[in-house]
Amino acid sequence: MSALAEAGALPSGFRLKLITIALILAPLIQVFDTALLSIALRQMQGSLSATQDQMAWVLTSYLIALAVMTPFWGAISSIFGRKPLLLLSIVGFVTFSMLSGTSDTLREILIYRFFQGAFGAALIPLSQSALLSIYPREDFGIAMGWWGVGIMFGPVFGPTLGGYLTEYFNWRWVFYLNLPLGLLAFAMIAALVPRQRNTTRRAFNYLGFIMLAITVASVQFVLDRGERLDWFSSPAIIVLCLAAAGAFWVFTVNSATSRTPFVDPAIFRDRNYVFGIVLRILFGVFLFSSLVLVPPFLQNQGGYPLIDSGIIMASRGVGAMIAAMFTGRMLKFIDPRKVILAGMMLSAYSMWEFSNFTQDIDLTVVLINNFAQGIALSFFIIPVNTVAFSSIAPEQRDVGTAFYSLLNNIGRSLGIALFASYLARNTQAVHEILRADITPFNDALRHVGVPEVWNLDTLAGLQAVNAMVSAQAELIAYIIDFRLLAAIIVICMPVVFLLRNPLKAEPAR
């Protein structure tokens, strides 16, 4: 039970609904910002006269700050309190978002984005922890259901809105949009969210934080820049991997020997929390790698314009939000592990269906498949969140949600890095295999039925054949990626059986 529950002060009725909305708005501005920006980068590149590699740092600087500061906010919440930190993080995030929108140089926006990420790191874990503190344990599923609606709204509908803002206004409005959302979230949290009564005050472990910061910053950099630097062919990647390994070893030793570790090892004795983290990393890999793969697949292979592909992806959000509205309540009566398995099976099936698509993609089939993916995401992430925090002690909840969010971010970066790299390498490999048969000595290409546009004796014919081969190679590479995603989900299904049923488990005290 939460401290509020123990004091008999849990909000209820209409007030509970308003507080829930307030705590959904806080993380929404963070995930919405990331989704909107991914669409605006190309226009920003021209406006700031930057190269594509330089623009990648706009995301990298933000993600590194987000990764480093996520556990920091959870650790200091026992010192300053959750509500003041939430309000401070909203102010900081919106302020640096507005400054990013006024940037005229690449250096300015890199600095502002770094601090925006530093403040934004608090929004997801602290809002999740605050939401759990105002609901009784038996209603955690309902709380996570509504919280999941906000989290899923951003990455699915964000690209669509970002496309419209960039197309009809300019990239600066992607940052300005955070102001009204931030003001509303600040006002509602300040007025409605009860202040947490701290039951414990832990001393801040500076060595533990510094070592963990070096670890996550190095890992985030490697995952974000590894493909561009050709992975372990780069000395920088090797040095950072060694730095991450060394820092993590020191962090582990410090956590095991210090009287006041930065992250209390006791939290990892909770089986549901540990295996919930494993599944949450899988969720990060699946959700964000599929969000990165599907839109360009629709554009490059299906021929859909940018805005249309964004609208198509919105069907996933509709499915996710519809499912989220009843999934949380369903968990009060159905074993969450069964719901997780259903979500994983539906996710694997939808990924496999994507691998069967061709360049003649039927719009209706794409919409149905995306809608099914949305339902699968809610069936997966809501019960995973519920189970993971079902037996965490209230005084460990802020640190628990922070570490949970951190590893989800690592999973997201891991999924994007691995599958984007795998797509590029497979495209090149398949292109080489297909090209081997495209020679003047191939009798099939001399057949009377071969179009004149593919005449290998002309430059235009060679270019046309190469374009066709490149498109087919990319299509096959997408098929490989989608089938690999489906296989990974199926392989990870046994992890679900390692979870305890929270309906029967005893809550932590």
How far is the C-alpha of 246 from the C-alpha of 248, rounded, in Å? 5
pLDDT of residue 251: 92
Is it the case that residue 252 has pLDDT exceeding 60? yes
Most confident of the following: 23-27, 247-251, 354-358: 247-251
On the question of pLDDT at 360 being above 80, the answer is no
Question: Contact at 8 Å (CB) between 21 and 115?
Answer: no
pLDDT at 451: 63
Residue partners of 36: CB distance under 8 A and separation at least 6: 158, 159, 161, 162, 165, 174, 177
**pLDDT of 349 above 70:** yes
CA distance 440 to 460: 15
- C-alpha to C-alpha distances, 144 to 150, 299, 320, nearest whole angstrom: 10, 34, 13
| Cβ neighbours for 243, distance < 8 A, ≥ 6 positions apart | 214, 218
Residue 509 pLDDT: 44
Q: Which residue has the higher pLDDT, 86 or 414?
A: 86
For residues 467-485, average pLDDT: 86
At 454 the pLDDT is: 59
- Under the banding of pLDDT at 50, 70 and 90, the label for residue 224 is confident
The domain over range 1-203 is classified in CATH as 1.20.1250.20: yes
Q: How much is the pTM? A: 0.81
Higher pLDDT, residue 279 or 363: 279
**Confidence category of residue 439, pLDDT binned at 50, 70, 90:** low
DSSP 37-95: HHHHHHHHHHHTT--HHHHHHHHHHHHHHHHHHHHHHHHHHHHH-HHHHHHHHHHHHHH
Write down the pLDDT at residue 55.
75
Check if 1-203 and 263-509 are the same fold.
yes
pLDDT digits (tens, 9 = 90+) for 300-338: 777 777 666 667 777 888 888 888 888 888 888 888 999
- Which sequence spans correspond to the domains of the chain? 1-203, 205-261, 263-509
Rounded Cα distance, 287 and 339, in Å = 17
Of the candidate CATH numbers 1.10.760.10, 1.25.50.10, 1.20.1250.20, 3.40.190.10, the domain formed by 263-509 belongs to 1.20.1250.20
Check whether 264 has a pLDDT greater than 70: yes
Average pLDDT of the residues of the chain: 82
- Determine what percent of the chain is predicted with pLDDT higher than 90: 16
